[in-house]
Amino acid sequence: MKANQKIIEADDHAVSAVIGVILMVAITVAIAATVYVYVSGMIGGTKQTTPNVACTTDPTANKITVATADAAIKWKDIVITTDNGTFGTGASAASVNWTIYTGGGINAQTSNIAITDAAIDVSAGDYIYLNWGTHTGNVKVTLAYTPTNSLLGSWTVNV
């Protein structure tokens, strides 16, 4: 019997109940903090999304017309680029110029001049007029939305 008691006495040196409770509370707090960080990251503030803009091309009138656009898109937030920046070389070189016309035919922007009026919204019926002088050819126009740095679309017009 004494041999069995020695084995029991040897196992009697366990972690105290107080230390066990402290470890359990620490583990629970760590798990709760991890869950909080995960959930708060997912619930965080609203993220800005790229708006939808649909356009149609009219090669006979050399323009791209906005067919539909999400609400509250501003022309000042859109960058317009063309892939045919110049036609020809030297003194005879011609560049693609474009002008934005908003509702009622109001000229909003002409070739890379920034729109500073924050009240000009993109709306159906607005159009981008392309002028390539007397030259003809395909011009690819790309619209990019600067707040999300994303592409709204590309359209090719034969001017």
For residues 26 and 121, the model is more confident at 26
Which residue(s) pair with 115 in the sheet?
none
* pLDDT value for 74: 85
Comparing 8-17, 46-55, 115-124, the range with the smallest average pLDDT is 8-17
CA dist 51 and 46 (Å) reads 14
* pLDDT value for 87: 43
Q: How confident is the model at residue 1 (pLDDT cuts 50, 70, 90)?
A: low
DSSP string, the chain: -HHHHHHHHHTT----HHHHHHHHHHHHHHHHHHHHHHHHHHH-SPPP-PPPEEEEEETTTTEEEEEEE-TT-BGGGEEEEES--EESSGGG-EE-EEEEEEGGGEEEEETTPPP--TT-B--TT-EEEEE-TT---EEEEEEEETTTTEEEEEEEEE-
For residues 42 and 11, the model is more confident at 42
Comparing 45-59, 90-104, 139-153, the range with the smallest average pLDDT is 90-104
What are the φ and ψ backbone dihedral angles of 39, each rounded to 5 degrees?
A: -70, -40
Whether this prediction's pTM lies above 0.75 is answered by no
Q: What is the mean pLDDT of residues 53-70?
A: 88
For residues 127 and 105, the model is more confident at 127
High-pLDDT (> 90) share of the chain, %: 10
